Amino acid sequence: MGNKLGRTYEANIDKKSKKAMGQFYTPEYIVKYIVENTLGKIDIINNPFVTIIDISCGVGYFLLHAYDLLMEKFIKELELLREAYKDETYIIKTDGVESEIKGSDYWIRDNLHYHILKHCIYGADKDNFAVELTRGALYSKGARSPNLNSNILHCDSLIRWENEIEGMTNETNTLKRFWSRKYDFVVGNPPYIGHKQLDIGYKKWLMMEYKEVFKDKADISFAFIKRTFEVLKAEGVAGIITSRYFMENPTGRKLREYILENGNMVEILDFYGASIFKGVGVATGIFIFSKEANDGGDINVTKLIDDEYNFTNLDNLSELINTNVFEKFSINKEKLGTDRWILLSPVKRRIYEKIQRKSNLRLRDVVHTFQGVITGGDKAFVLTEEEIERYEIERILLKKWIKNSSVQRYNISEGKQFLIYSDLIGKMEDFPNAVGYIRNFQEKLQNRRECKNGSREWYKLQWGRDTKLFEQRKLIFPYKARENRFALDEKCFYFSADIYSMIVKDEYKYIINLEYLLGILNSRIYEFYFKLFGKKIGKGTYDYYPNAVLDILISTDDIMQEIEMYVLKILDIKRFSAQADKEYEKAEIFRCQMEIDRIVGEYFNLNEEEIELIVKSTKREYDLS
């Protein structure tokens, strides 16, 4: 692909700058796949002036590969081009002098480099040095290059330069002409900058300029996707790799609507949480779409199933997607909808729809959820028993404290730490020991946003929550996990912000109990079901944020009592575990969980093939935690 200088430049940008600009090196196997599957069917005989643009070109990887692909096609079709356009007149510049020549003299191998750079390759980026490297790499592809200052531009691609008034400056005129045209193909890797990293003023501008798709918690790629649609010709095609979050995130709803209303998704290659960009925790996918009206047909979907696979630049992605590393299927566009895009093979969709059809309530109808405590500095508020004794912390302020790792399936492994619940402090002089201990961290605590704006005293928790929430029976679950881990808290634990809790709403307390919810949510079938639509955020890791968890559908049918019975047995075993009977207890818990799976499976009429897939997909060991 060339551009060794570009690679060196990207390798030497510090991580902080990369994050701020959303710049991350696109692996060669990704560039090759996108370019070849987007541009591969170009008909250069009918359209020798085909236009290709990368609106976030960086150091030019996509454009360089597009150049190579075009050069190969032009060489192969050169004789046909010369014959088809022999009587056409062309303008070519040599040594600064323009001259007119006939097609029979224009379509020769020596002119192809000039033709591709002059008429086919376009790019733009905010990083001026990267733009210069792209120009240089393209120039180096051959002799007699045209000036690329009008083809590869330094600018913010999200500004609608086509709307600028002409005649202001030469640069503005160049930008206006560049962005006023439409392009046959768009390829690239739009920058990923999360909403928290965006400059506040720029974010407000995006919310106004791209209000159709960009909402408060959107990342900048949402705006780039819309901009891609804007620069495409009516029959144009785009191929990009970008964050996959817009498919599932509530913030992406408007973007999903926009894509379905304004284009035609052709292919989705979903990497489903695999690490494609080194050092970047962003789940990505390749999206190939056209600007033609949605024809209501099928989308070709390729979805990673082996997220332990380590991708390298030696991979040929076109070959790899035909192995057992991926699954391939098609999905009707009508199935996408706008709530969230759930990409499921036929058998998985059948399971999903069986559960959806036979359930009568969403979890959000039945429960309230709340997040754990945000201390703003754990070292100042979380202590061991030894530290409590040493500093003689006042006991009335102490609450039993657990973290994410304490949450097991069904129960909680009790921690050995305590929280100084300093929100109970009225007068500092009434709790001199606790305040004295927290004072060791005063400088850091005073820098918290709430302390700076005067809404919180420096010695109090950043977000302590209402104590009544914690002082009750509740289910708790980790915010991020590899599997469903819902536990019953009967000891009124307080916990960190990486844990969420749920309690049954008053109007359902006599209909549904926590034990029933605990049983179904910890079952294999419900783990499989949740992972069909839950957001995958890394290798084997899912986001259990309430937005998704509360979308789980449940039934209040006659299976509740039977499931509750087995859950109570499991809880009793875990409460009164005896070391001598460990193997028996393990086997009994295993039996109870298998019975719960059987009850749930029979209730939803799952067949043998479906059960086999669920068991294979939810690799877990039933044991005492």
pLDDT tens string 213-262 = 998 788 899 999 999 999 999 999 999 999 988 998 888 999 999 999 99
Which has the minimum average pLDDT: 184-188, 407-411, 576-580? 576-580
**Would you give the end-to-end CA distance of the chain in angstroms?**
52
Structural domain count of the chain: 2
Residue 13 is predicted with a pLDDT of 56
Instruction: Give the pLDDT confidence of 457-481 residue by residue, as tens digits.
Output: 999 999 999 999 999 999 999 999 9
The alpha carbons of the chain give a radius of gyration, in whole angstroms, of 30
Residue 44 makes CB contacts below 8 A (sequence gap 6+) with 50, 70, 73, 74, 77, 81
- Specify if 595 maps to a domain: yes
Locus of tokens 């002082």: 471
Task: Specify the higher pLDDT residue, 131 or 307.
Answer: 131
429: containing domain: 373-464
> pTM, whole model, 2 decimals?
0.86
| b/e 142-172 (16+ beta carbons within 10 angstroms → b) | beebbebeebbbbbebbeebeebeeeeeeee
The per-residue pLDDT for 282 is 81
The answer as to whether 64 is a domain residue is no
Least confident interval from 121-130, 306-315, 392-401, 440-449:
306-315
CA 462 to chain centre: 28
- pLDDT score for 374: 94
pLDDT at 166 (0 to 100) = 66
Pair 382, 504 in one domain: no
**pLDDT at site 562:** 95
* Mean pLDDT for the stretch of residues 492-515: 95
Task: Report pLDDT digits (tens) over 279-297.
Answer: 677 889 999 999 887 677 8
Average pLDDT of the segment spanning 318-327: 94
**In angstroms, rounded to a whole number, what is the distance separating the alpha carbons of residues 361 and 527?**
17
The neighbour count for residue 110, using CB atoms within 10 Å, is 9
DSSP collapsed to 3 states, 466-506: CHHHHCCCEEEEECEECCCCCEEECCCCEEECCEEEEEECH
Measure Cα distances from 546 to 100, 370, 432 in Å: 67, 9, 39
- Domain membership of residue 364 (yes or no) is yes
Residue 192 has what pLDDT?
86
DSSP string, 25-88: PPPHHHHHHHHHHHHTT--TTT-TT--EEETT-TT-HHHHHHHHHHHHHHHHTHHHHHHHTTT-
Distance of CA 572 to the CA centre of its chain: 40
Task: Please give the average per-residue pLDDT across 432-438, as a whole number.
Answer: 96
**Residue 283 to residue 268: CA distance in whole angstroms:** 14
Q: Are residues 610 and 477 in the same domain?
A: yes
Q: How many CB atoms lie within 10 A of CB 53?
A: 31
Question: DSSP letter string over 564-608?
Answer: HHHHHHHHHHHHT--GGGHHHHHHHHHHHHHHHHHHHHHHTT--H
What are the DSSP calls for 125-179, one per residue?
ES-HHHHHHHHHHHHTTSSSPPP-TTTEEES-TTS-GGGSPTTS-HHHHHHHHHH
From 464, 486, 502, the end of a domain falls on 464
Residues 6+ apart with CB under 8 A from 179: 160, 161, 162, 231
Residue pair 567/575 in contact (Cβ under 8 Å)? The answer is no
Give the residue from 397, 430, 464 where a domain finishes. 464
Q: Residue 2: what pLDDT? A: 56
pLDDT of residue 415: 79
Per the domain annotation, does 336 fall within a domain? no
CA dihedral 182, 184, 188, 194 (to 10 degrees): 40
Cα 139 to chain center, whole Å? Answer: 36
Tokens of 258: 């926009």
- Which residue do the tokens 């974010």 mark? 203
Query: Is residue 499 located within the same domain as residue 587?
Result: yes
Which one of 464, 486, 514 terminates a domain?
A: 464
How far is CA 392 from its chain centroid?
46
Same domain, 349 and 494: yes
Contact 103, 70 (CB under 8 A): no
Give rounded-to-5 percent helix, strand, coil for the chain.
45, 20, 35
pLDDT-based confidence at residue 172 (cuts at 50, 70, 90): confident
User: What are the residue ranges of helices labelled H in 392-479?
Assistant: 432-439, 442-446, 449-452, 467-470
Q: Is there a single domain that holds both residue 509 and residue 599?
A: yes
Residue 369 has pLDDT above 90, yes or no: yes
Residues paired with residue 369 on neighbouring β-strands, in sequence order: 502
Residue 528 shares a structural domain with residue 428: no
Q: What is the DSSP letter of 204?
A: H
- Assess whether 519 and 609 both reside in one domain: yes
pLDDT for the residue numbered 292: 81
Let me know if residue 352 belongs to a domain: yes
**Quick one: pLDDT band at residue 48, thresholds 50, 70, 90?**
very high
pLDDT band at 5 (very low <50, low <70, confident <90, very high): low
Residue type, 452: K
List all residues 6 or more positions away from 420 whose beta carbon is below 8 Å from its beta carbon: 380, 381, 382, 383, 393, 397, 398, 434, 437, 438
Please list the residues that pair with 187 across neighbouring strands.
239
Residue 185 has pLDDT above 50, yes or no: yes
Q: Is the pLDDT of residue 22 over 70?
A: no
The answer to whether the beta carbons of residues 594 and 613 sit under 8 Å apart is: no
CA–CA separation, 623 and 139 (whole Å)? 64
Residue 46 has pLDDT above 60, yes or no: yes
Clarify whether residues 608 and 503 are in a common domain.
yes
Residue 360 lies inside a defined structural domain of this protein = yes
Q: Distance between CA 181 and CA 122 in Å, rounded?
A: 11
User: Is 553 in the same domain as 535?
Assistant: yes
Residues 449 and 385 both lie in one domain: yes
494 part of a folded domain = yes
Confidence of residue 12 (pLDDT cuts 50, 70, 90): low
pLDDT above 80 (res 23)? no
- Tokens standing for residue 60: 């030019």
Give a yes or no: residue 518 inside a domain: yes
Q: Which residue has the tokens 């990505």?
A: 284
Name the residue type at position 250: P
What pLDDT does 242 receive?
94
Predicted pLDDT at 20 = 45
Confidence (pLDDT) at 106? 95
Give the residue among 145, 39, 49, 40 at the shortest CA–CA distance from 103: 49
Do residues 384 and 523 share a domain? no
Element spanning 420, H or E: strand 417-420
Q: With 90 as the cut, is the pLDDT of residue 114 above it?
A: yes
Mean of pLDDT values over 481-501: 95
Shared-domain flag, residues 361 and 499: yes
Q: d(Cα 400, Cα 410) in Å, to the nearest integer?
A: 19
How confident is the model at residue 167, as a pLDDT?
65
Pairing of strands 152-154, 298-304: unpaired
